[in-house]
Amino acid sequence: MPPKLSAADVVTLIDEANRAARRLHRKLHLPPADLEDLSQDLLLDLICRLPGFDARRGSIGAFANIVLRNQSSRIAMQIQRERRAQDGWMFSLDAPMAGSREPLKNLLLEEDALASWYGQRPFGIDMHHDRLATNCVLARLRDDERQLCRALSQFTASDLVAGSVFKRSSLYRRIAALRPVLTAYGLGPCWDDFGTP
């Protein structure tokens, strides 16, 4: 027979589950979006095991802690097993690919991006629009701004800093100053993106 729980007990269970989820999430280096799922999985398992709770043997918090720890171990082992099965681990876009000095982000095509995986192919008309907007804005930029754009089109910001072409702070300040200019000429976020009617 399931034990009767007070509102305070329910709060304790939820808090413990959330805490265990955060701990597991941090240890496994999981993406931020997985935290909510972890929390719910742990809480569900805990609720399923509540009939085994005996108040004479300890508090509900202690019971929850033991159950969550065991379930966390099971989830961790499952994730490790999946990673081994996939022959690899999650790695940073900044990490160089095997056999290449280029980081992964420099080698990925637009078609490989997440949007394309969900069926959002880049449209030709958008590309033409961007190209025309680029022509418009390049015609209006100052020489030093144009040179900065050219450098950024050929090298990453990290490369420019590493090559002592720019100081890091100076480079990012100039990029920040350039952003509104490019946006005003159509190369930037759209007005609708801000949700400001």
Partner 1 sequence: MTTATITTIRPKGPLTEIQFCAWVAQAMPGDRLEYHRGFLVLDTFHGLSKLGDNERNELRLLGTRAFWTEAQGLVHLVQERLGPDLFSYLAIARPKTRSSADAVTQLAALAA
Q: Which chain residues interact with partner 1 by CB under 8 A?
A: 125, 128-129, 132-133, 135-136, 139-140, 179-181, 183-186, 188-191, 193-194, 196-197
Task: State how far the Cα of 38 lies from the Cα of 36, in Å rounded to an integer.
Answer: 5
CB of 117 to partner 1, least distance (A): 27
181 Cβ contact partners less than 8 Å away, ≥ 6 residues apart: 137, 141, 145
CB of 85 to partner 1, least distance (A): 44
Beta carbon nearer to partner 1, 10 or 184: 184
Tokens of 104: 């992964």
Residue 96 bridge partners (DSSP): 103
Beta carbon nearer to partner 1, 61 or 122: 122
Beta carbon nearer to partner 1, 68 or 148: 148
Amino acid at 56: R
Phi, psi dihedral angles at 136 (to 5 degrees): -60, -45
CB of 189 to partner 1, least distance (A): 5
Tokens of 126: 């958008």
CB of 172 to partner 1, least distance (A): 16
